[in-house]
Amino acid sequence: MKRPDLKIEITIGEEKREIKWTYGLSNDIQRLVPDFGAAVNDIVSDPGIRDYIIRRALTDKKGIVREESELISFEAIDDIDPEEVLRLLEWVSEHLLYFFVTSAAVTSRQAKEYSSELGRLSPSSTGSADSPSTTPPAGPSA
């Protein structure tokens, strides 16, 4: 799978804004849509999620956004063209898909690579084998 571009340029009114896919942006959006199966539907159909993604992507803050007041205001992006909104949402979706698919591939590879070691570490469902020792017990303890 080809990694999506790390940057996208979006036009708001007459102003061009460059957005970079960062760790903070990725984490904030993944908290909102942690499961990609639901994410595609949520991004398209839930206006609250769409609004958060658009405003978070256009917010220049580095790191994690902790309060909605840290996001760019509605008024600051009111002139964004609906086509630009769709491009931005598609770009975000591509990054989420890339992350979820590559993470699943890494987990699958690791499971295969370590399966024999993990199998040996798993507890036995039948318990320990009987001891072959024929030594009689020492008798009652005092």
The pLDDT of 106-126, averaged and rounded, is 73
CA atoms within 13 A on the CB side of 140: 1
Give me the pLDDT at residue 88, please. Answer: 96
Give me the pLDDT at residue 32, please. Answer: 87
Nearest residue to 19 via CA among 44, 42, 53, 45 = 53
Tokens of 119: 């199998």
CA atoms within 13 A on the CB side of 77: 20
Cα–Cα distance between 48 and 116 in angstroms, integer?
A: 46
The residue ranking higher by pLDDT, 78 or 122, is: 78
Confidence of residue 43 (pLDDT cuts 50, 70, 90): confident
Confidence of residue 130 (pLDDT cuts 50, 70, 90): low
From residue 126, give the alpha-carbon distance in Å to each of 5, 123, 129, 132.
53, 9, 8, 17
Q: Which residues contact 52 (CB under 8 A, 6 or more apart)?
A: 32, 71
| pLDDT tens figures, 59-107 | 988 888 999 999 999 899 999 999 999 999 999 999 998 988 887 777 7
Give me the pLDDT at residue 122, please. Answer: 65
Nearest residue to 19 via CA among 73, 85, 79, 82 = 85
